[in-house]
Amino acid sequence: MNSQLILKSFFPFQAGFAIDGSHLPKVTDAEVQLMREQFDVLTSENCLKASNVHPQENVYEFAAADALLDFAEKNGIEVIGHCLVWHQRCPEWFFDDDGKPASREKILDRLRLHIHTLLKRYRGRIAGWDVVNEAIADKGEYLRDTKWVQNVGEDFLEKAFEFAHEADPEMPLFYNDYNIELPDKRERTLRLLKHLQSRGVRMDAVGIQGHWQLDQVPFDEIEKAIVAYHALGLKVMITELDIDVVERPDCGADVSAHRAYSLKEDPYRESCPPEILQKQAEQYAKLFAIFNKHREKITRVTFWGLHDGRSWLNHWPGVRTNHALLFDRQCRAKPALAAIAATMS
């Protein structure tokens, strides 16, 4: 038994977690029980990213995603597809034409086929898609300077939403990004979302990822962001929540940044001290007090991992032992679960 407190019974929004399709063959009975007991919905952490599912032109690797869908259905869990366009995991072939840069038309044709193939294959089995992930620049500029902007133009975003909508007109579609609660990036995100709305694209929700760090959670800005995005007529989702407890060197958001960590930089290898878990619980509770206050604006809160042992923060920005989620490596509830439950009752 994992816990008497059941997220999906006291959350006023859907309770979600992310899982990598490649983890599935190795999940334990306790993990399956945790998923079934606590959560309504899972997000495909990696297996539907273009680099995983469509590594070369006309070559699709569906096995991991198919297995994830079968598993979710068997266990009564909904699935969110993540993500159709993300510069970080977009294979080079999209932009290449026999060694020369592909034309805008060719890239858009490929994008259209990619999106149609995925949406049609999983029609009726996926409950919503992150269409574009992380298109806003971290600082200064409006959009991130990627091959999508360079080789297609800023309208690659509206094209992606347009293709998704034409592939499945009923499908809920989301824009997803990190740090978009912070004032500067928030302003540019509002600009983008308003622009997409003015172009008439179907867009149902904005996903605030929520990769936060202990003692640095920007509570006030998170609340302002929820209000501002909802004011555009969009639903708000917290899509990749975790609170990192290990101090992080300044490494931006480069998911490929990897290096070895000394014991000093990986202080909780054996276990996480109770006072840190307590602090984390208080900060999760404060966060969920905000989510609860705005419960009519928020439709889903998804944690980026099932439990501490399955969090990406054990591998980024290097191999370390992190404790960022609500359940520990044995699937036991951490103090944060009770703290959240108390704040929401």
* Residues at the contact surface with ligand G3I, assessed by CB under 6 A: 20, 22, 45-46, 49, 89, 133, 209, 240, 255, 312
Q: How far is the CB of 18 from ligand G3I (least distance, A)?
A: 7
**Cβ-based nearer residue to ligand G3I, 55 or 153:** 55
Q: How far is the CB of 5 from ligand G3I (least distance, A)?
A: 25
Tokens 């609340």 sit at which residue? 223
Q: How far is the CB of 85 from ligand G3I (least distance, A)?
A: 12
Q: Which of 261, 242, 245 is nearest to 317 (CA)?
A: 261
- Active-site annotation holder among 45, 134, 158, 181: 134
Q: How far is the CB of 240 from ligand G3I (least distance, A)?
A: 5
User: Torsion angle of alpha carbons 82, 155, 206, 244, nearest 10°?
Assistant: 60
**Cβ-based nearer residue to ligand G3I, 242 or 341:** 242
**Cβ-based nearer residue to ligand G3I, 14 or 302:** 302
Q: How far is the CB of 103 from ligand G3I (least distance, A)?
A: 28
**Cβ-based nearer residue to ligand G3I, 108 or 313:** 313
**Cβ-based nearer residue to ligand G3I, 251 or 255:** 255
Whether 296 is a known active-site residue: answer no
- Active-site annotation holder among 31, 158, 162, 240: 240
- 164 Cβ partners below 8 Å, 6+ apart? 84, 115, 119, 129, 131, 171, 173, 202
Whether 154 is a known active-site residue: answer no
Active site amino acids: 134, 240
